[in-house]
Amino acid sequence: EAIDLGSCEIGPEGIKSLSDALRWATMLRTINLSNNIFGDAGATKLGERIKYLHHFETIDLSGCEIGPEGIESLSDVLRRAQMLRTINLSNNIFGDAGAIKLAESIKYLHHLEAIDLSDCKIGLEGIESLSDALKFAEML
């Protein structure tokens, strides 16, 4: 039900291999890949695979060097994760562009209870988009 590979120095190639395996872990509820170094390339690959996981409730990708491109790939997947309750994307580098894209997905996550976006270089424009989107999160 859970995968915890935080702080394992997993890069883009490692995420590619892991992502291929995750596709078949359909009952996975918790994904912790925090403090790895896979960046946008790894986030994009991860997004392509976790779209098959419909039951995951928690995702922690904090400190993974994810920029706007990686967040865009993940946002499309997160939008479909109807059971998602907790998102930790803190300590990444996606800024306003990523926050705006993420906000488009957050409004579909009605069960969201917690989201951590600290230290992601988000400015006023990103904060306004997120604030508007969070109004739809009924559990926050």
What pLDDT tens digit does each residue of the chain (140 aa) get?
999 999 999 999 999 999 888 878 888 999 999 999 999 999 999 998 888 887 899 999 999 999 999 999 999 889 888 899 999 999 999 999 999 999 999 989 989 999 999 999 999 999 999 999 998 877 77
Q: In this structure, which long-range contacts are made by residues 15-20, counting pairs with CB atoms below 8 Å and at least 24 apart in sequence?
A: 15/41, 15/42, 15/43, 15/45, 15/46, 16/42, 16/45, 18/46, 19/45, 19/46, 19/48, 19/49, 19/50, 20/49
pTM of the model: 0.95
Please tell me the predicted confidence (pLDDT) of residue 138: 74
Between CA 131 and CA 51 the distance in angstroms is 25
72 neighbors 95 (Cβ within 8 angstroms): no
| Backbone dihedral angles phi then psi of residue 115, each to the nearest 5 degrees | -145, 130
